[in-house]
Amino acid sequence: MTTPIRVLAVDVGTGTQDILLFESGKTIENCFRMVMPSPTMIVAERIKRATERGLPIVLTGVTMGGGPSHWAARDHALAGYPVAVTPDAARTFDDDLNAVAQMGFEIIDEAEAARRAELPAVVHVELQDFDARAIITALQAFDIDPRVDALAVAAFDHGAAPPGVSDRRFRFDFIAETVHRDPTPSAFAYLAQDTPGDLTRLLAIAQSAARYKKLSGSAPDIPLLLMDTGSAAALGSLEDALVRRQQECILCNIGNFHTLAFHLLHGKIAGIFEHHTGEISREQLEDMLLKLADGTLTNEEVFNTSGHGALNLDRSVSGSRDGHFPFLSVTGPRRELLRGSRLQPYEATPHGDMMIAGCFGLLRSLADRDPVLAAQIEPALL
């Protein structure tokens, strides 16, 4: 008899972190899951409490997602309170440490950070996207063994753009290169040892994953898969039976900060665009989706409206288009943006739970990358 396996899948967003403990042999609906505050929201709240108390903060750890954590640290400095940060943690705010210093943050080394963190009048906050201790503690509180046979984590990674290069252009150039090489959503998933060096946020997660293995008692050499959040959600939406049956479809994930849409023909990417959710209205999103479907959406059109970019593959690669608008599947915590749209979106509910669509995408990608694990993961998927 085959020994069952357990996989911890964590999809790190801006509003929430979505956690699934997959166990082979169980129906996937019976696997344990949590939807909790995102790491950047947790860090932001800790900094805000320090601001309210008027205390200096020391930020240590690794590169993580910015947004709320960055704004809270900025507001702390603007209020006149000291912000000290170690180099690895500082890259959360900008890859250029000189730019971080210009924000009013003091860059200090690890030894000095450790000294200050011991001071009673200083608030120490550790930056990390994958908090091993918190997840293990939560599982153990419900008498769940945290040991696993594989880890899979998704996060949004702009990549380390060189000085003077737009991080939006840098990210979308990377997306375009990836799609040209392999026009499938799973192309944005990597076993840890194969992760591109520019994806510094995902590489930082790998460091935190090593802590999870140690603290949970898992084997140190278990597989670790790292993936982009948007593509994880897109793959996860294909775990909805109706979506999976479509020969042509648009998969649109409307996240709290980013909106990513894939145009798929027979499972291959025919086009893609990515924008900032807060920068677009329903009408703008509808227009972009229509243009994505007919191949007329341009990279500059998206970039010039504060988005990342767009790519349409050559017709010889993408296949024929007969002028009809394809089936539109929508996921994400901001999917109400298209609710009632003239494009007649379908709100996908993979395995009955949209909020962990990214976790299902992570499982699918892990099965694609690891044939040994695939034999136990795939029977639970569509």
Q: Is residue 361 a contact partner of residue 234, using CB atoms and an 8 Å limit? A: yes
Q: Is residue 154 a contact partner of residue 12, using CB atoms and an 8 Å limit? A: yes
Look at residue 164 in the predicted model and tell me its pLDDT: 85
Residue with tokens 């007969």: 322
The low-confidence residues of the chain, meaning pLDDT below 50, are 316-320
Look at residue 336 in the predicted model and tell me its pLDDT: 96
Look at residue 163 in the predicted model and tell me its pLDDT: 85
Tokens of 363: 């499982």
Look at residue 323 in the predicted model and tell me its pLDDT: 67
Beta pairing partners, 249: 264, 327
Q: Which amino acid is at 66?
A: G
In this structure, what DSSP letter does residue 334 have?
T
List pLDDT tens digits, range 120-129.
999 999 999 9
Q: Which amino acid is at 324?
A: H
Look at residue 134 in the predicted model and tell me its pLDDT: 97
Helix axes 200-216, 132-141, angle to 10 degrees: 40
Look at residue 382 in the predicted model and tell me its pLDDT: 85
List pLDDT tens digits, range 85-102.
999 999 999 999 999 999
Please give the full DSSP string across 34-77, using - where no structure is assigned: EEEE-HHHHHHHHHHHHHHHT--EEEEE-----THHHHHHHHHH
Ramachandran region of residue 344, left (φ > 0), alpha (ψ -120 to 50) or beta? Answer: left
Q: Greatest CA separation found in the chain?
A: 68
Contacts of 263 (CB under 8 A, 6+ apart): 248, 249, 250, 269, 270, 271, 272, 292, 293, 318, 326
Q: Is the pTM of this model over 0.85?
A: yes
Q: Which amino acid is at 54?
A: G
Contacts of 283 (CB under 8 A, 6+ apart): none
Look at residue 315 in the predicted model and tell me its pLDDT: 55
| Burial zone of 317 (CB within 10 Å; 0-12 exposed, 13-18 middle, 19+ buried) | middle
